[in-house]
Amino acid sequence: MLKSRTLFFTISFFLILPVLSFSQRCGSYHITHGNFSENKFYQIHKEASRSALFVKGETSHMYLEVFNGRDYRISITHDDILGGPIRFKLIDQEDDALLYDNANDNYTQEFEFTVTKSRMLIIEISVPGSSVGLEKTSQEKGLFKKDTEIGCVGVLIEHMITPRKGF
């Protein structure tokens, strides 16, 4: 009984290890590969900045609460295997109004803005392409072709108090 349990945990560990190592690599991708602002007044918004594992064709949402009187900078970085460019949108959560779409800005991977009204935003991240992960490769239930085009996407969010202008 003890041997079968040990064998089960050993096999489980080696099956989960690749997923864990990829997830851990992505966990701080926005820090290790981030495109930080040269403006010394910006600080990393640690609670809001995130990284995640994506497949081609995937779209995901994250939330960002922004406050009146602050400037924000959002920059996107990603693994080359995902292709590019990564599309991102800023959407007002209250009324689903589209506030910004980088597709209308030559797919720039950074955006700076000033907030004049506190609100909750949705950041929609879309990776171009299509995933092969949903194609069945066998008649057996639940067996899918492994998606090999996976990579990290990092969303670095920086903020600062909006500077006063003039005298």
Q: Give residue 13's identity as a one-letter amino acid code.
A: F
* Number of independent structural domains in the chain: 1
Domain of residue 97, residue span: 28-161
CATH code at 79? 2.60.120.380
Q: What is the pLDDT of residues 74-117, one digit of tens each?
A: 999 999 999 889 999 999 999 999 999 999 999 999 999 999 99
Q: What is the pLDDT of residues 121-137, one digit of tens each?
A: 999 999 998 766 555 55
